[in-house]
């Protein structure tokens, strides 16, 4: 698929989210839906949990304090936000930043699958325990952060495909914890090599 076709498909999905045409209460209570943004042709996709207050205000993912550190990590490997695709499992802010519940995750997951299916990134970085456990239930992030994992995915009637994932700690965990910051930067530093290996 050429980039323009991919972009048009991503835009169509973003429109569904922006129109709040998802059967989920959060779509009614949020200020602004947050579909995700970045390159339709990204080799790297980053998936967080759900929008926070600032994301909700601006309708953009990772634009608060966690987003600032995410941008720092991207810069550390020579990338910018525009080079990657950034989104969340849940596209609407849960009130008071509570964790999204299983039915909210279930309602939003097909959207994420579609985004992955269109972009076909080499690697999907799962930011934090919640994003990780959506794809790898029960997996302990403390034991598997920074390790590449593979899983088959499929969307509706589309063929099954193999997707590579990299679970990392959530950038928010590093905001007030220097050792966590170091671990995250170290894990993030593995990404260029991982991308170079994946065909």
List contacts with ligand URA (CB under 6 A): 48-52, 55, 61-62, 64, 66, 88
Rounded to the nearest whole angstrom, what is the least distance from the CB of residue 56 to ligand URA in the complex?
A: 9
In this structure, are residues 92 and 33 in contact, taking their beta carbons and an 8 Å threshold?
A: yes
User: Whose Cβ is closer to ligand URA: residue 127's or residue 139's?
Assistant: 127
User: Which residue's beta carbon is nearest to the bound ligand URA?
Assistant: 48
In this structure, are residues 17 and 32 in contact, taking their beta carbons and an 8 Å threshold?
A: no
User: Whose Cβ is closer to ligand URA: residue 52's or residue 121's?
Assistant: 52
Integer Cα distance of 186 and 191 in angstroms: 10
In this structure, are residues 145 and 183 in contact, taking their beta carbons and an 8 Å threshold?
A: yes
Rounded to the nearest whole angstrom, what is the least distance from the CB of residue 11 to ligand URA in the complex?
A: 19
Rounded to the nearest whole angstrom, what is the least distance from the CB of residue 55 to ligand URA in the complex?
A: 4
Task: Supply 75's token pair.
Answer: 């810069």
Task: List phi, psi (to 5°) of 87.
Answer: -155, -170
User: Whose Cβ is closer to ligand URA: residue 49's or residue 114's?
Assistant: 49
In this structure, are residues 175 and 69 in contact, taking their beta carbons and an 8 Å threshold?
A: yes
Rounded to the nearest whole angstrom, what is the least distance from the CB of residue 81 to ligand URA in the complex?
A: 12
User: Whose Cβ is closer to ligand URA: residue 64's or residue 146's?
Assistant: 64
End-to-end CA distance of the chain: 17
């Amino acid at each position: 698929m050429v980039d323009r076709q991919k972009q048009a498909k991503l835009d169509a999905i973003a429109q569904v989210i922006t129109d709040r045409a998802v059967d989920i209460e959060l779509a009614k209570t949020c200020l602004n839906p947050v579909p995700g943004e970045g390159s339709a042709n990204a080799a790297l996709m980053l998936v967080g949990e759900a929008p926070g207050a600032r994301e909700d205000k601006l309708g953009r993912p990772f634009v608060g304090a966690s987003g600032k550190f995410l941008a720092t990590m991207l810069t550390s490997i020579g990338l910018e936000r525009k080079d990657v695709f950034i989104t969340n499992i849940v596209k609407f802010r849960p009130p008071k930043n509570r964790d999204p519940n299983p039915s909210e995750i279930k309602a939003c997951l097909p959207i994420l699958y579609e985004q992955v299916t269109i972009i076909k990134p080499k690697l999907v970085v799962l930011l934090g325990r919640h994003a990780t456990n959506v794809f790898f239930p029960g997996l302990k992030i403390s034991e598997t952060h920074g390790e590449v994992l593979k899983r088959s995915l499929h969307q509706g009637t589309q063929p099954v495909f193999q997707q590579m994932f990299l679970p990392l700690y959530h950038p928010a965990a590093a905001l007030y914890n220097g050792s966590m910051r170091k671990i995250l930067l170290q894990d993030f530093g593995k990404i260029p090599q991982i991308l170079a290996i994946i065909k």
